[in-house]
Amino acid sequence: MSKNFFGTDGVRGTVGNDPMTADFSMRLASAAAQVLVPKGGTVVIGKDTRLSGYMFESALEAGFVAAGADVLLLGPLPTPGIARLTQEFDADLGVVISASHNPFFDNGIKFFDRTGSKLTDEVEKKIEEQLKNRAITLESQSLGKAKRLRFQRYRTVF
């Protein structure tokens, strides 16, 4: 099975066009949670400074929390920093919202495993397979929680 959404470096495209929509992002988070943290876990989400990143951050947060994962929102940080903080916070999954050097009207979503490494093609294919199903919402007692972290001069404030 070939991949339909994941490219060389995550999912990318022009904001507002498939797959870079809020709806797809929520479904992507749900699918990723079901494949990578089906019994709950911790996901860190960071982004670059593109305006659309705020929309995607909220959609990803909703998808992960609805699927039972706890989310730590890191805010704007460089991609390598998010990979590193995935390890530092002992998270199960890291997510970066960025289209790197692409124009401002593009954006992307990239995943890191718990070691801060890119997901394998095999795992990305499993997520794409799960995307064929509807996003899930667990019962209230099983939902995840989200927390925004603030970084102040070499000190993390929770």
Cβ–Cβ < 8 Å for 131, 82: no
Q: What are the CA-CA distances from residue 28 to residues 36, 79, 117, 150 (Å)? A: 12, 19, 19, 26
Catalytic residue, candidates 98, 100, 117, 140: 100
Beta strands in the chain (DSSP E): 11-14, 42-47, 70-76, 93-97, 106-113, 146-148, 150-152, 155-157
Q: Among 104, 131, 106, 99, which residue's Cα sits nearest to residue 26?
A: 131
- Residue 100 bears catalytic tag: yes
Residues involved in catalysis = 100
